[in-house]
Structure 1
Amino acid sequence: MITIIFYDFEVFEYDWLAVFADIYNKKEYVIINNPDELKALYEANATNIWVGFNNRHYDQYIMKGILLGMNPKKINDHIIVEGREGWQYSKAFNKIPMINYDVMPNPPIGLKTLEGFLGSNIKETEVPFDIKRPLTEKEIQQTVFYCEHDVSQTIKVFYETADVFEAMHGIVQAFPDMVSLRDIGDSEARITAKVLGCTKRVWEDEFDYFFLPCLRLNKYKCVQDWFAQKREEALSLGVQNFSDSEKKAWYKAQSFEIEVAGIPHTFGFGGLHGATEKPSHFKGALYHVDVNNYYPSMLIAWNLVTRAATNDNYTKVYKTRKALKYKQTHSATKAEAKKWKKAQLPYKKMLNALSGGMKDKTNAAYDPRNNNCMCINGQLMLLDLIEHLEVIPGFQLIQSNTDGLIVQVPDTDEAFDLMDDICWEWEQRCSTDRCEILLELDCIHEIYQKDVNNYLWVDLDGGVERIGKYVKELSSIDNDLPILNKALVEYMVHGTPVEQTINTCDDLIMFQKLVKLSDKYKWVEHEHCYPVEHKKGVRVIKTYYEYPETVKYTYKCYRVFASNNIQDGRLLKCGGKRGKPEKFADTPNHCFVFNDSVEGVKVPDRLDRQWYIDEAKKRLKHFGVIV
């Protein structure tokens, strides 16, 4: 039976230690400077799955190096100090097979930050990693304590993201001829390339992209012409042969701004974005016009799946997911629907991962021309849809994004029928015999919109869609200022005053703000003493405080709360290039730090609830709501 071993290494100049947790057999192993003990543990679990946090880039190479008789400190410095990849240190690492699975999120978030989101203790060891002598027994035990803590937190993160692991494991089970358990630690894009049997190829036609024959642009054909112009420009400049950094900069610099259906739009090589210029709030006959599985459907319909693939597994994955989704939508119970939704996850991840893999030079699925064809035609097809919908009297576009639109039409049968007919005609024109490209019309009762990346809508059945930093649904590993998200959503959905939401909450974790000191700064100072009061202004007099004393910290992560105690000042990052202390973004001018566990901790009297109320109102104002 395959089991999972969680592990973490700590490396010093003269010492190393590691903690391993076998949760299935309920055993923990602490190994200190003992290669033989490590070898015995490895050999007993060589075919099991080794799970860590950033172990894909760090811990596995430390472990393999020790097993090979190498100096772990030199490997550590190669990775941490020199900033190089672990596999570059020695080809001998390939002699030690390990099935590694990394729970670090992508894009990366540090373990201490995740521990903070979870409400755990985020205090750090006081034993410096650059110590130039063997550790004392007390220092070793303190390091073991923090290493055990990190392993326990890695286990928590693993369970919070178990659906990702299960999806990757599901891919292995679904395609045993293409991938094995050893591939479970690969990225979604790389494992997808293996499922498709991709063979790495060198392409010279990145900018030979073409426009699909289904396009019927007239009013906004200038956008298509702009992409055609960029194609000629790229070919004449030889962008294909630019260095990776130069090519990335060229792509990023290309954008075309135009007003479409009365709202500003930006087109480029990454996607389409358009939204009302000012924050907006709409009620009435609103519709989310969503393209179902847009990119996967387009790739299959127009034969744009990576040319590096050697089989038709992408289409098989697509059809399998479609069949599972049908079972989900036709389930008799919520439990049954949840089961079929979960079963789709491996296939959904593969379908969505391919587009990124096609633009990644290191991925076997690399096919930049087809990726360009997909991104460019995807935008133009949606622009085509907008152009045709614009003929509806009273039509209003609220926003456009990469795979759909939000629109408003008059609340009449005639307007809806015309919209439905236009959408049907677009579907027929854009679909092929290989695959249908279909639209879904979701009725919206009300929408609050800050911009194209931040909005909330309530559908006719009371369901809520929440997109963006201020209103998104948070989780235990994405849990920053949760009280503000809750206050905004409660106001927008139920009309609950933000004061009521904030003043009635008594869980301290709901008010936490996590900050982390970047490598650009050296230390942190907290203004903490009786301040000197200053006043300035003539007609409007403002009061501000100067704190002559600070408390210095060397931790990386801090859990910050607004304080009503005048002795608590700002939390400052120091030692940066600017030469002067700088306040951490989105933190109060008066705050306290609490890095102990906040699980079950109630709100203390020193918490300044008014700061959170004011912040909630500021954020509502960003959505065009004045309260």
Structure 2
Amino acid sequence: MLLFYDAEVFLADWLFVIVNPITKERHVIINDAKKLASFYEQHKDHIWVGYNSRHYDQYILKGILCGFNPHSISKYIIADKKQGWQYSSLFMKIPLYQFDVMTTLHGLKELEGFMGHDIRETTVSFDINRKLTEKEIEEVVHYCTNDVEETMEIFLHRKEEFDTQMALLKAFELPLKYIGKTKAQLAALILKARKMNRDDEFDLILPDTLKIKKYIHVVDWYQNPINHSYEKSLETVVSGVPHTFAWGGLHGARDKYQDEGILVSVDVNSFYPSIMLEYGFLSRNVEDPNLYQQIYNERLRLKSLKDPMQQPYKIVLNATYGAMKHQYNNLYDPRQANNVCVGGQLLLLDLIEQLEPYWTLIQSNTDGLIGKIQQKEELDTIKTICKEWEERTRMKLDYELFYRIFQKDVNNYIIIKEDGSYKSKGGYVKKLNAIDNDLPIVNEALKKYFINKIPVEDTIYSCKDLMQFQKVVKVSSKYSHALHGNKPLSEKTLRVFASRNSDPGVFKVKGNSRVEKIANTPESCFIVNDNVISRRIPRRLDRDWYVNLAKKRLEDFVG
């Protein structure tokens, strides 16, 4: 059973709003520690779901149950920027099946803004140094309830995240108390890792199957102790394309590039897990390396059956590499992580070198390449070379054919198939959704231009939905407040639209005097922080601003 909850804390008051999504019951508990304790005892076997609750709300709840002042805990977490679990060891003794819906850096109000919802905030300041009035309490309860309801909606958009977490616990027979752990933490538990201290971070071991000749200087760069620093990287040209080799991945691309023809995408299947297994680069903290192999094999078996239960196995396999670089995780083993990353880059460089005479390289990234051939018959040659590489390196490749590419750089591109389907990367052309929906009209205009050659003006001037023009911005905690022109605003999350009228811009204030324009916002704009779903466009919307922005982004892609 799930419960959704949120806490609000002031100097002399606190409250919880808790909602049961099945029965629709809403429980509001205000300044009553006994009532909260009673509710907790009756519902401690439920899963408590919140937004950013892993870092904040659960510790307010546990603190009140322990008899602590919740305002002191809140200040410790927010103002002092400390971890809630550090406040008291007693928190560890209070069981709570806690699941946090927050999986990105976006705040709750930003996601509400993306969905087109009302993002106006309570007018009651959290800095009030007295008890709240009844009217103020009533307003805070209203806004706290709204936050819980919004958390429920975001949960539905991210339900796959929750289902995957539950599947992980089920697949590996883990207790429900681990529901709130990160995937990296669960990977460490599943692999029974025990942390060990070592001092061999840059004692690199390279794959013994490498066959690099032309670009041996890249291999030499990694082996030279003078380059054993995460601050260093190698800039070099490989196969006619500028590349960067560093300690976190390989990147190479032709900037501002567009082309049509027979484009071949070659990706290494399950690259990092395969390297860990084939070359012995799994974290040395794992009790039994065979366990990782068993998980890998089971994932392949379930995938071949198209069984959705393959997903938790995939997560463990992929989370392991990231955990090897995290110093607070029991899988932490930076030498092995470097072996995986550097080995992966050099294996890919090996493939680039073998393919170089037979195609034109367009881009390289961490686990794949895109290149162009002149005739379809040449694909057989590409596959023959790739087959030799697969057999030698013990990796597995996947292929896809595309016919058009627009590429700003390695992190921003769209590659299109003949049927109009596409793959894209980067903020300009990524696939948007209800909770990632900023400047959607500009995104759509670019993609329609790239895919169907529709002028950006046609897309922007034909749209009648105001929400498609929204720009959602958030003023961070580094700033005291936002301004619309000279007018101070109580909200820190704003939904702005370009204006044809003489409306001012939006700014943020640091300290008492430093005023900065909020980045990527129009010089003249109006703010609509209430609901904009299905709202028609007012006359003052400046469509030209969006057209010019789309053209600027288009120029960033193709020059």
Q: Do the aligned partners of 1:559 and 1:595 also contact (CA within 8 Å) in 2? A: yes
Matches within 5 A, 1:145-294: 145-176=142-173, 179-230=174-225, 234=228, 250-251=229-230, 253-276=231-254, 278-294=255-271
Match among 556, 559, 562 for residue 495 of structure 2: 559
Alignment partner, residue 281 of structure 2: 304
- Pair 576,137 (structure 1): closer, same or farther in 2 beyond 3 Å: closer
Give the Å deviation of 1:80. 1.2
**Which structure 2 segments of 5+ residues have no match?**
none
Which digits, 9 at most, give the CA deviation of each residue in 1:5-52, with x for residues without a partner? 111111111111010011122211000011111111101111111111
Structure 1 letter corresponding to 2:303: K
Structure 2 letter corresponding to 1:270: G
Give the Å deviation of 1:465. 0.5
Q: Do residues 80 (structure 1) and 14 (structure 2) align?
A: no
Alignment partner, residue 33 of structure 1: 31
Matches within 5 A, 1:118-129: 118-129=115-126
Aligned mates of 2:44, 2:336 — CA distance in 1: 40
3-state SS of 2:488 partner: strand
Alignment partner, residue 391 of structure 2: 428
Percent of aligned pairs sharing the same letter? 45
Q: Do residues 384 (structure 1) and 350 (structure 2) align?
A: yes
Give the Å deviation of 1:55. 1.0
Aligned mates of 1:576, 1:490 — CA distance in 2: 44
Structure 2 letter corresponding to 1:430: T
Aligned mates of 1:8, 1:74 — CA distance in 2: 18
Alignment partner, residue 582 of structure 1: 516
3-state SS of 1:371 partner: helix
Alignment partner, residue 7 of structure 2: 9
3-state SS of 2:277 partner: helix
3-state SS of 1:391 partner: helix
3-state SS of 1:390 partner: helix
Q: Do the aligned partners of 1:317 and 1:347 also contact (CA within 8 Å) in 2? A: yes
Alignment partner, residue 326 of structure 2: 360
- Pair 576,265 (structure 1): closer, same or farther in 2 beyond 3 Å: farther
3-state SS of 2:435 partner: coil
Q: Do the aligned partners of 1:287 and 1:444 also contact (CA within 8 Å) in 2? A: yes
Alignment partner, residue 409 of structure 1: 373
Match among 501, 524, 535 for residue 459 of structure 2: 501
Q: Do residues 54 (structure 1) and 52 (structure 2) align?
A: yes
Q: Do residues 100 (structure 1) and 98 (structure 2) align?
A: yes
Greater shift in the superposed pair: 139-148 or 609-618:
609-618
Structure 2 letter corresponding to 1:420: K
Give the Å deviation of 1:310. 1.9
Match among 597, 600, 604 for residue 531 of structure 2: 597
Which digits, 9 at most, give the CA deviation of each residue in 1:356-401, with x for residues without a partner? 1001111011111110000001000111111111122xx2110000
Give the Å deviation of 1:574. 2.3
3-state SS of 2:200 partner: coil
Give the Å deviation of 1:605. 1.6
Q: Do residues 573 (structure 1) and 537 (structure 2) align?
A: no
Aligned mates of 1:204, 1:522 — CA distance in 2: 44
Match among 537, 542, 558 for residue 608 of structure 1: 542
Aligned mates of 1:412, 1:159 — CA distance in 2: 45
Which digits, 9 at most, give the CA deviation of each residue in 1:546-590, with x for residues without a partner? xxxx32213211000011112x1211122359x543221111111
Aligned mates of 1:135, 1:361 — CA distance in 2: 43
Aligned mates of 1:150, 1:317 — CA distance in 2: 39
Match among 420, 425, 443 for residue 462 of structure 1: 420
Q: Do the aligned partners of 1:306 and 1:358 also contact (CA within 8 Å) in 2? A: yes
Q: Do the aligned partners of 2:123 and 2:490 also contact (CA within 8 Å) in 1? A: no
Structure 1 letter corresponding to 2:157: E
- Pair 508,343 (structure 1): closer, same or farther in 2 beyond 3 Å: farther
Greater shift in the superposed pair: 496-505 or 43-52:
496-505
Which digits, 9 at most, give the CA deviation of each residue in 1:171-218, with x for residues without a partner? 001010xx2211111111001111111112212221112111110111
Per the normalisation by structure 2, the TM-score is 0.97
Q: Do residues 373 (structure 1) and 339 (structure 2) align?
A: yes
Structure 2 letter corresponding to 1:60: Q
Aligned mates of 1:67, 1:412 — CA distance in 2: 69
Aligned mates of 1:151, 1:412 — CA distance in 2: 55
Matches within 5 A, 1:448-527: 448-527=406-485
Aligned mates of 2:16, 2:107 — CA distance in 1: 19
Q: Do the aligned partners of 2:121 and 2:490 also contact (CA within 8 Å) in 1? A: no
Match among 100, 110, 113 for residue 113 of structure 1: 110
Aligned mates of 1:589, 1:497 — CA distance in 2: 25
Give the Å deviation of 1:76. 1.1
Greater shift in the superposed pair: 193-202 or 469-478:
193-202
Greater shift in the superposed pair: 136-145 or 416-425:
416-425
3-state SS of 2:520 partner: coil
Structure 2 letter corresponding to 1:59: D
Alignment partner, residue 546 of structure 1: none
Alignment partner, residue 131 of structure 2: 134
Which digits, 9 at most, give the CA deviation of each residue in 1:442-473, with x for residues without a partner? 11111110100011111244321011100000
Per the normalisation by structure 1, the TM-score is 0.87
Matches within 5 A, 1:523-542: 523-527=481-485
Structure 1 letter corresponding to 2:553: R
Q: Do the aligned partners of 1:483 and 1:502 also contact (CA within 8 Å) in 2? A: yes
Q: Do the aligned partners of 2:390 and 2:396 also contact (CA within 8 Å) in 1? A: yes
Match among 16, 19, 31 for residue 18 of structure 1: 16
Aligned mates of 2:72, 2:141 — CA distance in 1: 21
Give the root-mean-square deviation of aligned CA atoms: 1.5
Structure 2 letter corresponding to 1:259: V
**Which structure 1 segments of 5+ residues have no match?**
235-249, 329-339, 432-436, 528-549
Aligned mates of 1:482, 1:254 — CA distance in 2: 37
Structure 2 letter corresponding to 1:448: F
Aligned mates of 2:43, 2:249 — CA distance in 1: 46
3-state SS of 2:441 partner: helix
Q: Do the aligned partners of 1:443 and 1:460 also contact (CA within 8 Å) in 2? A: no
Structure 2 letter corresponding to 1:227: Y
Structure 2 letter corresponding to 1:424: K
Alignment partner, residue 337 of structure 1: none
3-state SS of 1:191 partner: helix
Give the Å deviation of 1:412. 4.6
Give the Å deviation of 1:128. 1.1
Q: Do the aligned partners of 1:11 and 1:17 also contact (CA within 8 Å) in 2? A: yes
